[in-house]
Structure 1
Amino acid sequence: MAFFNYKAYDSSGAKSEGLIEATSEQDAINKLKVQKLLPFEVKEEQKRATTGVLFQSKVSLADLEFLTAELSLLLATGVRIDRGLDIIRRTKAKAALAQMLANISSSIKKGSSLSQALRAYPDVFDNLYCNLIELGEASGNLSEIFSGIAKDLKFKRELQRKIIGSLTYPCVILFVCILSIFFIFNFIIPKMADMFGQLNSLPWYTQLMLSISEWMNDYQVFLALAVIASVPALIWASKREGFQHWWHKTALKLPVIANASATVERIRFNSGLSLMLKAGVPIDQALELAAGNIKNHVLHHEMTIARKKVKRGSQLTPALQQTSLYPPFYISLLEVGEESGNLDIVFDEIANRSRQDFETWTDNMTSLIEPLMILFMGGFVGGIVVIMLMSMISLNDVGF
């Protein structure tokens, strides 16, 4: 079976387009005619997507947020889950998402639960997502669970887009700076070297500039290969457990990154914990499931110890106070929530406040990066230009 993008006219003459699953192009046409559609363009999705396979092979965060929000809306209006998956599959014309939805729908029709079908895609649906869906299936409030998850995913997507947008300008400046340096050391300075070639002595800054230019001309290919090779090497190292432990431990000690790392983990933990408590999960079980959403190994270990203390009968607030996840202000909120019995509201409030804190940190950092990049480019490139001018002036002072 393959997917085909189609454009057709319905019985009233209105244009209709979407995605349909069929064994061949003719089979797709026949299925469209059964639906009382007159197709005028049918193309196989896989053939159209081959040129962009690198960009279409995965389900993105935006796709996941769209899927979750749409399922919440469809379930709230009384649509069955398998029917809802088929509707989204036909309207969202991306090969990776359509194929995944087709497989999930097929698993459900064969008797699997939705949570079981989702667990077949761990790269898309994490443990917390699947656990919440399983709780929603058991309690019957699956639509509300999807709605809560969609809000959390929407925040992540907006924050991701905001960070990418804020870093675009500094990256462009850095790219222009690198091109300028490459042009100066490969084309401008070598011509100056011919001018200085017959001089008996040169100022130290001129000699340094010429040496750097000569080194770059001799080894720039190896330098470029080293930079290119560092990217897959860094990706490979980031997947090694030893490197992850080192980085997670180091990230909590760095002055600027430490607070941001703890804030991100606090958002993950508290948002999941709030959703589970609202779904009626006991606090000890909710702590265990939400702790699996913490990526930092150090904080995860601290939360595991706190969860065991709560399970043995310790109060929640003192146990969480011993972790690095909650500053004193949030501990006071936890005390109020534990005394009033409204922990779900408190955890939701902590998650929202942490989101605001992280957005503020992101705004401050991106606002700081832009002038720093401008200063770097102006200082570096400007310094080279000044040295070139000083070298030209020194020609009058150097004897032949």
Structure 2
Amino acid sequence: MARKPKSAVKSKLYQWKWTGKGPGGRRVSGELIATEKAEVERVLNGQRIMVKNIRRKSGLGGGMGTIKPRDIMIFARQLATMIKAGVPMLQGFEVVAETLKKPVMRALVQELMDDVAAGSSFSEALRKHPKHFDQLFCNLIEAGEQSGALDHMLEKVAAYKEKIETLKGRVKKALYYPVAVIGVGIGVTALLLIKVVPQFESLFNGFGAELPAPTRMTIAMSEFAQQYWWWGIILLVGTIMLIRQGMRRSEPFAYRMHALALRIPVIGDILDKSSVSRYSSTLATTFGAGVPLVEALNTAAGASGNKVYERAIQQVRDDVSTGQQLHFAMRLTEQFPALAVQMVGIGEEAGSLDAMLNRVAAYYEEEVDNKVDALTSLLEPFIIVFLGVLVGGLVVSMYLPIFELGSVL
């Protein structure tokens, strides 16, 4: 068996913390990302630093933070600025790495720089990290390398990432706000039932009279909550974990859950318009960069954020690959709004498909924003009434016997 060349073996990067003395005997310290201690020493010696101590902190995966889409967006913008300024790519990598705060991001940029220095193209280096650089990112960079407009493509992908993350934030706001407030209300109610109501119950035992029906019902709920509250927590956590695992491991189950989410009143409409906006924005960005339409549709399917739309876009891709027009293929799925289909049809006829897709994305992004604001305004009075009835009802039911006792006296 042929032995693997040493150069082909990928070295693991570590975070190194060092202290030493700089020119003039001044004490200095810092951190570096490198594969081994000797490499850190060589870098510091090149900067005329007398090394006193070097300590390894962690590997690429542990204790160095996590890479988020915003980090990738910042990296793309900074590298685009370097390339536009005429800085060579390898030097641009070094400058960008120094400005990044997260060690894990600096390590990732270091790996990209090493791959490019070894002879790989930028897009090939990116494809080695599919977890952080999706197909759209790699396709756009490859198109930029071929057309000589890499800085433009980096700016385009950064703008796309920013738009998608903003849209995701709006959708999360629509989902998290009511869940968080109602969750707090249920938590306060549970606390009252488990801790406060038993104190009143011991007081009522000395009254020697029959308690009002609301009070008896509250006491019964309190006894049930005291006995089975931990079962409720286990059931809730278990249900959430089962759903998440089921969606990860079973494609049909994930599809059914996503289809169910689209049917939820108001929330489903927001998710629906969000998927249309993400599909349109992704397709406009990739197709406008010169990526073939069929391949662009394949990328857009994965970026839609919903399994129902993902399957519909894959159907559109199959129809387009057989010669069907895009807007007609979209209509055949019976999933896309009529307005989006009509606007895409106009864009195809006018020869400005990417521009029209951008308009579709902007329109539905604004629709999502308006729906989220409307939902927030609609839910605020509902939540106030819900919490008032829930918590206020418990308090009133506990004070009813006291009020009746006061009237008798």
TM-score by length of 1: 0.83
Matches within 5 A, 1:19-58: 19-21=32-34, 23-24=36-37, 28=40, 31-36=43-48, 45-46=57-58, 53=63, 57-58=65-66
**Structure 2 unaligned regions, length at least 5:** 1-12
For the 8 Å contact 1:266–1:354, the answer to whether it is kept is yes
Q: Secondary structure at the match of 1:322?
A: helix
1:296 Cα deviation from its structure 2 partner: 2.9
Structure 2: distance between partners of 1:258 and 1:169: 15
Match of 1:378 in 2: 388
* Aligned partner (choices 264, 268, 277) of residue 267 of structure 1: 277
* Aligned partner (choices 250, 263, 286) of residue 296 of structure 2: 286
For the 8 Å contact 1:169–1:370, the answer to whether it is kept is no
1:397 Cα deviation from its structure 2 partner: 8.3
Match of 2:141 in 1: 133
Match of 1:220 in 2: 229
1:319 Cα deviation from its structure 2 partner: 2.2
Write out per-residue CA displacement over residues 340-394 of structure 1, whole angstroms, 9 at most, x where no aligned residue.
Answer: 2111211121122222122222222233333333322222111111111213234
Q: Call closer, same or farther: CA 1:270–1:187 in 2, change over 3 Å.
A: closer
Structure 1: distance between partners of 2:165 and 2:258: 23
Matches within 5 A, 1:153-164: 153-161=161-169
Match of 1:235 in 2: 244
Q: Call closer, same or farther: CA 1:276–1:194 in 2, change over 3 Å.
A: closer
1:172 Cα deviation from its structure 2 partner: 6.5
In the alignment, residue 203 of structure 1 is paired with which amino acid? Answer: P
For the 8 Å contact 2:273–2:368, the answer to whether it is kept is yes
Task: Answer with 249-258 or 269-278: which moved more.
Answer: 249-258
Q: Secondary structure at the match of 1:46?
A: strand
Write out per-residue CA displacement over residues 257-287 of structure 1, whole angstroms, 9 at most, x where no aligned residue.
Answer: 3332332222222222222232223434433
* Aligned partner (choices 338, 345, 370) of residue 335 of structure 1: 345
In the alignment, residue 252 of structure 1 is paired with which amino acid? Answer: L
1:158 Cα deviation from its structure 2 partner: 3.4
Match of 1:208 in 2: 217
Task: Answer with 162-171 or 203-212: which moved more.
Answer: 162-171
Match of 2:150 in 1: 142
Question: Structure 1 residue 151 and structure 2 residue 155: aligned?
Answer: no
Q: Secondary structure at the match of 2:210?
A: coil
Structure 2: distance between partners of 1:331 and 1:162: 24
Q: Secondary structure at the match of 2:333?
A: coil
Match of 1:298 in 2: 308
Write out per-residue CA displacement over residues 46-95 of structure 1, whole angstroms, 9 at most, x where no aligned residue.
Answer: 39x97xx4xx5431122121112112222222333333333222221313
Question: Structure 1 residue 347 and structure 2 residue 357: aligned?
Answer: yes
Structure 1: distance between partners of 2:47 and 2:272: 53
For the 8 Å contact 2:14–2:57, the answer to whether it is kept is yes
Q: Secondary structure at the match of 2:58?
A: helix
For the 8 Å contact 2:83–2:151, the answer to whether it is kept is yes
Match of 1:112 in 2: 120
Write out per-residue CA displacement over residues 88-134 of structure 1, whole angstroms, 9 at most, x where no aligned residue.
Answer: 22221313222222222222223333223222322222222222222
Q: Secondary structure at the match of 2:16?
A: strand
Structure 2: distance between partners of 1:21 and 1:301: 43
Aligned residues: 394
Taking only aligned residues, the RMSD between alpha carbons, in angstroms, comes to 3.6
Q: Call closer, same or farther: CA 1:183–1:109 in 2, change over 3 Å.
A: same
For the 8 Å contact 1:71–1:84, the answer to whether it is kept is yes
1:235 Cα deviation from its structure 2 partner: 2.5
Match of 1:82 in 2: 90
In the alignment, residue 196 of structure 2 is paired with which amino acid? Answer: I
* Aligned partner (choices 388, 391, 395) of residue 401 of structure 2: 391
Q: Call closer, same or farther: CA 1:271–1:99 in 2, change over 3 Å.
A: same
Question: Structure 1 residue 250 and structure 2 residue 260: aligned?
Answer: yes
Structure 2: distance between partners of 1:86 and 1:373: 52
1:160 Cα deviation from its structure 2 partner: 4.5
For the 8 Å contact 2:160–2:285, the answer to whether it is kept is no
1:6 Cα deviation from its structure 2 partner: 6.7
**Structure 1 unaligned regions, length at least 5:** none
In the alignment, residue 3 of structure 1 is paired with which amino acid? Answer: Q
Task: Answer with 207-216 or 247-256: which moved more.
Answer: 247-256
For the 8 Å contact 2:66–2:104, the answer to whether it is kept is yes
Structure 2: distance between partners of 1:181 and 1:324: 44
Percent identity, aligned pairs only, is: 26
Write out per-residue CA displacement over residues 278-322 of structure 1, whole angstroms, 9 at most, x where no aligned residue.
Answer: 222343443344334334333233333333333333333222222
Structure 2: distance between partners of 1:389 and 1:127: 63
* Aligned partner (choices 344, 359, 367) of residue 357 of structure 1: 367
Write out per-residue CA displacement over residues 16-59 of structure 1, whole angstroms, 9 at most, x where no aligned residue.
Answer: 977443633x8646523423568899775539x97xx4xx5431
Match of 1:311 in 2: 321
In the alignment, residue 208 of structure 1 is paired with which amino acid? Answer: M
In the alignment, residue 270 of structure 1 is paired with which amino acid? Answer: S
Task: Answer with 112-121 or 281-290: which moved more.
Answer: 281-290
TM-score by length of 2: 0.81
Matches within 5 A, 1:1-16: 1-4=13-16
